[in-house]
Amino acid sequence: MGQADFQFTFIADLGFPDNCGFGRGNLTITSADGSTITAAINGSGCNTQPTPASSAIQNLAYEIQSGTGRFAGVNGTGNFVIDRITPNGVPGPTYVHLDGNIVFTH
C-alpha cells in the first residue's frame, strides 16, 4: 500500500436555471516518490443541495492529460464526484470520489 497526495482546483458556474451549470478544473496526484498524474476535470452538473444544511454535489468527469516518473505515458478517463458538506450552512469537509481507469502504456 502506498501514499499519494491529491491537489485539485475547481470552478463551478452555477448561474443557469435550476442551479445547474458547467464545472471545470485540474487534478494532480503525486505519489510518495514524486511521480505525478495530471487530469482535466470537466462537465455539466447541478448543485443538488436542497437546503443550506445539506450537501452540494457535482458529478463530473476526468481525463488524464499527462504523467511523470513511473506514471509517464499514462492515460484514462472516469467519473469525478465532489460532495461538499455544509451542516447548518457552515462549510464542512469536502469528499472527492474518483471512479474510472488509469492505463499504463509502458
The 10s digit of each residue's pLDDT in 17-46 is 566 677 788 888 898 899 999 999 887 766
The 10s digit of each residue's pLDDT in 43-96 is 776 666 555 555 667 778 899 999 999 899 999 999 988 777 666 666 777 777
Domain boundaries in the chain?
4-100
For residue 94, the model assigns a pLDDT of: 76
HEC secondary structure over the chain: CCCEEEEEEEEEECCCHHHEEEEEEEEEEEECCCCEEEEEEEEEEECCCCCCCCEEEEEEEEEEEEECHHHCCCECEEEEEEEEECHHHCCCCEEEEEEECCECCC
For residue 81, the model assigns a pLDDT of: 81
